Structure 1
């Protein structure tokens, strides 16, 4: 469990994901894939592609971040999002964070990220995340929270946040 993250402000909380959360996580992933809904094809085909991509993402996260922790974000005990976090030996990596459509743009992401920043600060570790180049709302949020461009890629940029510049000079 993340210290101090079980009871966040505004009725938010994080809890470890359970096997029973899989249908919620699949539906959440589906809600984030408007790009795949543009595929010209029957609805059933599009849904099967989205499901296949969800399974591929899940497997990919498991391979790339075998020690990642999977959390469900709740508001007043109702599931509204997820956060996948890898506490590596030299950095805290926010692998994924997503919210259901009705919960987006309400500051919940900032609240969860601030809790993770506090933990990264206690660990004196930088915090890393990737963001799609075209995800302007998320990019603005990350910039306001002190994230800086670390590496630019074709579709995604890697951003970094340093908890304390003096402490980070030791790395």
Structure 2
């Protein structure tokens, strides 16, 4: 597994990845496939615009395995705490510990700067919430669509 900066030529894959992650959520609406695809395209474009506007100095990273994209990791490194803007893996890559490894690396990076790490998880995404809690994140606040969670780096132990 490796990380690299997202490029313009990743947009088609990122759009498909977004569709894969969100299609099941909207499938119960019973929309025709073309309408669902158009809606998800629009939602992807709006999310991408939001992320690049409000987190312009974030690292937009593509997760690769065998030189093929398998996920994305968007990380904002700034004081007072880093922000995990977004993390997502293809469905066939989940459950293998890759997400936990990516988050643990982000935690190590934040701790090396003496910072914590924040993130937001959608209400109802219980699997992600359990993962974050297992990795030491604590619930901070309920927002309309998400819960804010925070991980605090351990204070160095004083030795005499």
| TM-score with structure 1 setting the length | 0.86
1:5 paired residue number: none
1:35-46 paired onto structure 2 within 5 Å: 35-46=25-36
Q: CA separation in 2, counterparts of 1:69 and 1:150?
A: 24
1:95-110 paired onto structure 2 within 5 Å: 95-110=85-100
Number of aligned residues:
156
Query: Do residues 31 (structure 1) and 20 (structure 2) align?
Result: yes
| TM-score with structure 2 setting the length | 0.92
2:138 paired residue number: 148
- Among 57, 60, 82, the residue aligned to 1:70: 60
Cα RMSD for the two superposed structures:
1.4
Give 3-state SS (helix, strand or coil) of 1:35's partner: helix
- Among 51, 67, 77, the residue aligned to 1:87: 77
Q: Give the superposition deviation at 1:35.
A: 1.3
Give ranges in structure 1 of 5+ residues lacking alignment. 1-11
Give ranges in structure 2 of 5+ residues lacking alignment. none
Q: Give the superposition deviation at 1:78.
A: 2.0
- Among 27, 52, 59, the residue aligned to 2:42: 52
